Structure 1
Amino acid sequence: MKNRLLALALATAMVFSITACGKSESKDDATKDTKTEASKSDEIEYDVDELVTLGDYKGIEVTVEGEYEYSDEGFDKYVEDTIAQAGIFAEDKSQKEVKEDSIVNVDYVGSQDGVAFDGGSAEDQTLDVANNCTAGTTQGFIDGFTAGLVGHKVGEEVAYEVTFPKEYGNADLAGQTVIFTFQVNYIAKPISSKKELTDDVVSEKFGYDTVDKYMDSLKESYQSKLESNLKNDTETAVLNAIINNSKVAEIPDDLLQARVDLIIAMQDRQYQAYGTTLKDYIASMGYDYDEEIAKLTENIKESTKTELILEAIAKTEGMKVDEKDYSDFISNLYTQMGYKDETSFYDDYSVKGYSGEKYFRLAYLTEKAKDFCIENAVVNSSNVVAE
């Protein structure tokens, strides 16, 4: 069964990921115009009962399959994955000479005509000699940067010439031959499992005094992850069932356009803060703006269907906005997004035909409707232990 919630998640993420960084102060004339229009009394109206035919939404039975219960096997895998993702490297005291495939920790200074140049020096850098990059990343260096380290021993100072490419971004260095002087601190090895951890490593890399304390922290994180897995999978299963049981005859064109305008406005405001626009950014990435907006519109169409179904449920169940509860709801949102008051928050979420206040009051009700359906669902879970 196609997971129709992917579209909802995409559209929601696009709005909230942008504003989570804080609102931008820049506002172009087009944005001001849409807000002026939104303040008029021509807001979009529709009868949700005429648009939506509800199917079963109370007491529906769903089955979720995932990792929801603690197991030693699951926790061990979580630990291994966490360590692997951290990209930890520690001193390997058994290795004393740099080889072609070594991971080596160095300090280095780049100089031209005996004078160190800006940006050419660093300390405590862990380098992947074979791949000529920072260990654990794809951050590559100019050709030959690490090659001269091979054959030298821990504790040695090594100096050799390296030539910058002619097309290098810094005109003062482009095509120039410079000298890099390295201090070989130690040969490193990747830490890829719990058994390789030491108190010193977890203290330096994670800020915990001992391996045991770090494991206690990971166990708490693992438990939270299991709870989140169950909550998210349950929500997805219930909403998908409700969507499949119901039918949306049509989405009003003006409502869909308002939803599209909102996301475009939010993205455009974010890009303006960085001195560009959404349209220019899309073009700079080699995509056609109209085609990308058409794709976005299709995604938003799916999320708007879900919104209408939940709105119909809220109406059928007689749900109303509890003003005290809503005040907490909206203040938490605008505070998290860097706003000082709800007026400016509503203003930034207003588009032609749909005010920000109306948008978030509906969001509050649809959230209540979603929670109602989940609370009244019969949820069967099948715990899958991590391999």
Structure 2
Amino acid sequence: MKITEKTNEGLKREYGIVVPNEDIATKVAVKLEEIATKVSLPGFRPGKAPKDLIKKKYEEAVSSEVAEEEINKAVDQIIKEKSLKPAYRPDINVESYKFGTDLSFELSLEVIPEIEIKPFDNITLDKFVVEISDKEIDERIEFFANRQKEYKNSDSQGPVKTGDVVLIDFVGSTGGVEFKGGKGEDYDLEIGSNSFIPGFEDQLVGAKVGDIVDVNVDFPKEYHAKDLAGKPALFKVTVKAIREAVKVEINDEFAKKFGQESLESLKKMVRESISHDYEMSSKMALKKRLLDALSNEYDFEVPSKLKEMEFGAIWKQIEDAKAKGQLDEEDKDKSDEELKAEYQDIAERRVRLGILMAEIGEANQIKVEQKDLNKAIFEEASRYRGYEQQVIEQYTKNPRLIEGLKAPIFEEKVVDFIISKVKLNESKVSKEEALKKEEEANEPAKKKAAPKKKTKAKKEEE
């Protein structure tokens, strides 16, 4: 095998490889001998078919198989001998090959750049710890109480006004035919809550108890039931009563509805819950600041193909957002050239940070362990109440789903590792102060993050 280096510029590497026909022919002959001892052809006993017939029938397929093996062998050999770290699977271009001639092909790739990891204690980050007030805890419990409130019939006979809660029966139809899910009885509806189809609640304003109101509405074009989306519908609505809320007493009995023995233990639970929410929010904000700091600290060349792939994924989201009329407000008046320039920068930043995080993880022997995967699977399953076991089984039976968990887990472990090494300026702030500081911190870095949602391409890294 003859290997010639053709390009060694920056991150790009190209090699020309020639495998002599003699090497291939020898290996093809060995494989044909193995086939001859096992194969069964019509008119011959197993292993007794003439060699010429075996050669005629299998030589072309076997030679292609050997050629592929030689290509893979060459790739492995070059990567090992040159101590390369490919940024992606190398591209192979077979110039020409026909059995009986030398196998000539080119191998091209880009390598991961060599990065000198700088001391992390050079980085200083602000961490804001939100102080939880008693007022905030009381407001959260009050919110729970409102969610738990019940209604009783009032003495009022109407007319119904915005803000009232009415007890109704309703039957919906399209084209004179009732549709599935369009019927309800003894339903408490707050007028003005916009919990029903747009226009439904407005048509009940002015009605009185005992009235039967024809409510004519159009289902939204984006309605989840495709057979109803965009269609006009008629609802026959019977107003049975105007209701008034029964005040919920916030006491020990109320706390028991949430599995707590007393109001004090409920307040403790709520405080811990709010604290956890703020901690998660603080961690996400800290990660944003860290990624911004790393982006400012490192400026190495990135593999162009990885950047192109990342940009391609981002641009597809932009085009999808355009088609759906969901493009970010700040982008609507920009030309494609302006948008592409901005998102090329975003793609490059993402690739650079991804490479950097991988190098830091490798240098510090950070790995995704089975316990990390188990935790992630159980957290995912907990989002689907009643279907936890099915979700767990889906993951355990699908290796690709497991692989999909590894990258974000690895990134989180690397981020946690770095944060444990940087200097943190920790300060206590109110909820309002924390929100203001987050807005100030995010404003200058607005364009630095990659899209996280299908229709949004400029969200900060989470």
What's the TM-score once normalised by structure 2's chain length? 0.48
The residue number in structure 2 matching 1:65 is: 128
Q: Report the CA distance shift for 1:340/1:262 in structure 2 as closer, same or farther (over 3 A).
A: farther
Q: 2:293 aligns with which of 234, 241, 244?
A: 241
SS across alignment from 1:145: helix
The match for 2:113 among 44, 48, 52 is 48
The Cα shift of 1:227 comes to 3.1
Q: Which has the higher contact order (CA 8 A, sep 6+)?
A: 1
- Whether the 8 Å CA contact 1:167–1:174 is kept in 2: the answer is no
Q: Which residue of 2 aligns with 1:145?
A: 203
Q: Which residue of 1 aligns with 2:25?
A: none
Tell me by how many angstroms 1:383 deviates: 0.8
In the alignment, the residues of structure 1 paired with residue 252 and residue 402 of structure 2 have an alpha-carbon distance, to the nearest angstrom, of 50
The reply on whether 1:181 has 2:233 as its aligned counterpart is no
- Judge conservation of contact 1:109–1:116 (CA < 8 Å) in 2: no
Say whether the 8 Å CA contact 1:53–1:247 is kept in structure 2. no
Q: List aligned pairs for 1:1-387, cutoff 5 A.
A: 42=91, 45-49=110-114, 52=115, 55-58=118-121, 60-67=123-130, 69-79=131-141, 82-83=143-144, 90-91=150-151, 96-98=156-158, 99-110=160-171, 117-118=178-179, 119-129=181-191, 131=192, 135=193, 137=195, 139-142=197-200, 145-149=203-207, 152=208, 156-163=209-216, 174=232, 179-184=236-241, 186-188=243-245, 197=250, 212=263, 214-244=266-296, 246-260=297-311, 283-285=323-325, 298-314=345-361, 318-320=363-365, 322=367, 325-329=368-372, 336=380, 338-341=394-397, 343-345=399-401, 360=406, 366-386=411-431
Are the counterparts in 1 of residues 214 and 236 from structure 2 also a CA contact under 8 Å? Answer: yes
User: Percent of aligned pairs with the same residue?
Assistant: 17
Q: Distance in 2 between matches of 1:136 and 1:214?
A: 31
Q: Structure 2 counterpart of 1:46, which letter?
A: V
Structure 1 distance, partners of 2:220, 2:194, is 26
Indicate the structure (1 or 2) with the bigger Cα radius of gyration: 2
SS at match of 2:396: coil
Q: Classify 1:221/1:186 alpha carbon distance in 2 versus 1 (closer, same or farther; 3 Å).
A: same
Which amino acid in the other structure matches residue 147 of structure 1?
V
Contact conserved, 1:234 with 1:379, CA < 8 A, in 2?
no
Matched residue type, 2:300: A
Amino acid at match of 1:251: V
Partners in 1 of 2:254 and 2:299 — Cα distance? 57
Contact 1:103 1:126 in 2 (8 A): no
**2-structure distance, mates of 1:166, 1:236:** 41
* Cα deviation digits, residues 261-313 of structure 1 (max 9, x gap): 66799x8xxxxxxxxxx97785244769x788887655443322322333343
Which residue identity lines up with residue 305 of structure 1 in the other structure? R
Residue ranges of structure 1 left out of the alignment (5+ in a row): 1-37, 268-277, 350-355
> Gaps (5+ residues) in structure 2?
1-86, 92-107, 222-226, 381-390, 433-462
Greater shift after overlay, 213-222 or 331-340? 331-340
The residue type paired with residue 105 of structure 1 is: V
- Asked if the contact 2:171/2:184 (under 8 Å) is kept, the reply is no
Conservation of the 8 A alpha-carbon contact between 1:164 and 1:174? yes
8 Å CA contact 2:126–2:425 kept in 1: the answer is: yes
Count of matched residue pairs: 299
Please list the CA deviations of residues 32-88 of structure 1 after superposition, one character each: whole Å capped at 9, or x if unmatched: xxxxxx996549642332xx5655423633322341x444244345546x559x766
RMSD: 5.0
Check 1:250–1:58 CA distance in 2 against 1; reply closer, same or farther (3 A cut).
same
Indicate how the Cα distance of structure 1 residues 105 and 216 shifts in structure 2: closer, same or farther if over 3 A, else same: farther
Q: Which residue of 2 aligns with 1:26?
A: none
* Cα 1:145–1:380 shift into 2, 3 Å: same
Contact 1:61–1:378 (CA under 8 A) maintained in structure 2:
yes
- The one-letter amino acid of 1:221's match is S
